[in-house]
Amino acid sequence: MNRPVVVLAPDEEGLQALAGAPGLAGVRYDARREPTAEQQQAAVMVTGVSNVEPEVAFMRALPQLRLLQTLNAGFDQWIGRLPPGVALSNGRGAHGRATAEWTAAVLLAHYRELTRFATAQGERRWDHHTTASLEGKRVAILGAGDIGTSIRRMLAPFGCQLLLVGRRRRDEVVIMDDFRAAAAEQDAVVLVLPVTPETRGLVDARFLKGLKDGAVLVNPGRGSLVVTDDLLEETQAGRLRAILDVTDPEPLPAGHPLWASPGVTITPHVAGNTAGAMERAWAVAVQQIGMFARGQAPTNLVFVPPGWSSVG
């Protein structure tokens, strides 16, 4: 490799992360503006945005672009929108532990009724009573990637009976048919699947009716995995509970009935947002881009166009 690979970064933090990486030359970009001649030499572009339209338009003006590297684990918003010949690599490995912490925290808060105790404190009322426990609860985790396996590791010490569900059966991982056979036994179902044509709207009326009374649906994954109206019907009837870090639509409009539905807890897409999150995401991005620059296929590739190969 004679010349450094030009990598477009959306912020100063990215430029700093790229500065110490051999063979890479970071260049700042703003997708709201036309690319400069220097930016048009880029083979890699890094993004962390959720509104992809400006980024897509910007990429179409980059003739040398070969790889889009995201700082997020989710990537569904990019599928079908990349320019020809551009591969996609995600931020898998950066956000698993943080999302697992959120999942453990909200399940503990749910079963130990921390919200009820906080309300009682605000009312200066001594609400002494026995709560449920996370110990012994049957928890199914749909999605066996980095985040799903991190959640399993985080919940295991609490004595849960864990079911990790992936696309193929392997050690300690079952497939969706196995989950469906055991769905009615689960106390909680955690959604960390990627959004694909097969998983979009997976959690619909039929899925929800297969869960037992009092079960809790936990979604730190993607809002579009769930049919919101079907979930509303179940929660408003008081049959199911839900803890949601993501919603459909998102952000959730102020007047949406999901806000006030009984047994629903909502956090504003913060499961992976902890101190150091962007440093971890950039560390993964630099590693993946470095592999590309050395002629290797990045291990986080989630989409590869026909005939694509790394630069070599």
What is the spatial distance between Cα 150 and Cα 124, in angstroms, rounded to a whole number? 38
DSSP 195: P
Q: Which residue has the tokens 């870090």?
A: 245
Identify the CA nearest to 240 among candidates 175, 298, 184, 174. 184
State yes or no: pLDDT of 312 exceeds 80.
no
Q: What would the DSSP string read from start to end of 270-286?
A: -TT--TTHHHHHHHHHH
| H/E segment holding residue 142 | strand 138-142
Q: In what order do the strands lie in the sheet with 138-142?
A: 174-175, 161-166, 138-142, 188-191, 216-219, 241-244, 264-266
Q: Residue 159, by phi and psi: left (phi above 0), alpha (psi -120 to 50) or beta? A: left
Report the C-alpha gap between 281 and 239 in whole angstroms: 38
pLDDT of residue 76: 87
Please give the model's pTM, rounded to 2 decimal places: 0.92
Q: Catalytic residue at 55? A: no
Tens of pLDDT, residues 163-208: 999 999 999 999 999 999 999 999 999 999 999 999 999 999 999 9
Euclidean distance between CA atoms 33 and 167, whole angstroms: 41
Residue 17 has pLDDT above 90, yes or no: yes
Contacts of 72 (CB under 8 A, 6+ apart): 48, 90, 91, 95, 281
Identify residue 13 by its one-letter amino acid code: E
> CA-CA distance, 84 to 63, in Å (whole number)?
10
Catalytic entry in 81, 250, 256, 294: 250
Q: Is 269 a catalytic residue?
A: yes
What's the pLDDT at 246?
A: 97
Catalytic option among 222, 234, 241, 280: 222
Mean model confidence pLDDT for the chain: 96
Instruction: Write down the pLDDT at residue 48.
Output: 86
Range(s) of the chain covered by CATH 3.40.50.720:
5-94+275-303, 96-266
Tens digit of each residue's pLDDT (9 = 90 or more) over 164-174: 999 999 999 99
pLDDT tens-digit series, residues 42-95: 999 999 876 789 999 999 999 999 999 999 988 888 989 999 999 999 999 999
Query: Is CATH 3.40.50.720 correct for 96-266?
Result: yes
Domain 5-94+275-303 has CATH 3.40.50.720: yes
Q: Which of 92, 152, 241, 269 is catalytic?
A: 269
Distances 279 to 3, 13, 276, 298 between C-alpha atoms, Å: 26, 8, 5, 19
